[in-house]
Amino acid sequence: MPIIRAVSGIVEIHPSPPVSSRPPATQADADHRRDRAKEQAHQDADRATHLAQQAYQQQANQPSASKPALLAQDLMTSPVTSLPSDSTLLEAWTMMQHKGIHHLPVTSVHGTLIGMVSNSELLPYAHGLESVDPPGPWTEYQLTHVMNSRVLSASPATEIREIAHIMLNGHVNAIPILDGSRHLVGILTTSDILRAIVHQSPLELWT
């Protein structure tokens, strides 16, 4: 088909150049294209692998976003029900029954911790403590006669993991929490820790 071209208002007609016929594709051409496609696919895969490795390395170098572990002050019961050292076994037994607790810290006249008494120390006297007529002879015994004066304690900033370790190795179910002056600021029991395990993520608890 001729080509019509307008130049300065003059129409020129040129014959169209002959169209060369394209030689048919050979098997060698098909193999070459297939090899090129495979090579390109390998290059794309290598590039994707390299980018993935870079992303992984960047993620690994970022600071951990895990939450800090829970501390004693996060789970402890405060204020604490306690009794002075001159209290009687009957007073301790009555308070435990009324409050539904199993451990009572014993404090000095200055408010510092000097011992702990639990229901296990009072159980041998339970019959006499609950007897009204006649009352048991030991109802007026002071707590200093039965309390445990060697007490494992922790500070408010102690991690729960460490306290659980102390409880396990020391075979105790309650740890009094003391400030720097050994004044009682809280108490942490195995029930408190179990309650936290039920309601909080273990990663938050033990991180």
| DSSP E strand stretches across the chain | 3-7, 10-14, 83-84, 103-107, 113-118, 174-178, 184-189
Pick the closest to residue 177 from 191, 165, 163 (CA basis).
163
Residue 200 resides in a domain:
yes
The string of pLDDT tens digits covering residues 67-78 is 567 899 999 999
Instruction: Please tell me whether residues 194 and 122 are part of one structural domain.
Output: yes
Model-wide pTM > 0.75: no
If DSSP states are collapsed to H, E and C, what string results for 141-198? CEHHHCCECCCCCECCCCEHHHHHHHHHHHCCCEEEEECCCCEEEEEEEHHHHHHHHH
- The confidence score (pLDDT) of residue 29 equals 56
Instruction: Please tell me whether residues 96 and 176 are part of one structural domain.
Output: yes
Q: Is the pLDDT of residue 116 over 70?
A: yes
- The confidence score (pLDDT) of residue 12 equals 46
| Domain count for the chain | 2
Over range 115-139, report the average pLDDT.
76
Q: Who wins on pLDDT, 50 or 185?
A: 185
Pick the closest to residue 115 from 103, 124, 107 (CA basis).
107
Instruction: Please tell me whether residues 55 and 77 are part of one structural domain.
Output: no
Instruction: Please tell me whether residues 94 and 113 are part of one structural domain.
Output: yes
Pick the closest to residue 151 from 104, 95, 87 (CA basis).
104
Q: Give the Cα separation of 157 and 20 in Å (integer).
A: 89
**What is the extent of the structural domain holding 78?**
72-206
Residue 181 resides in a domain:
yes
Confidence of residue 201 (pLDDT cuts 50, 70, 90): low
- The confidence score (pLDDT) of residue 135 equals 60
- The confidence score (pLDDT) of residue 170 equals 86
Pick the closest to residue 126 from 116, 138, 134 (CA basis).
138
Instruction: Please tell me whether residues 40 and 108 are part of one structural domain.
Output: no
Residue 15 resides in a domain:
no
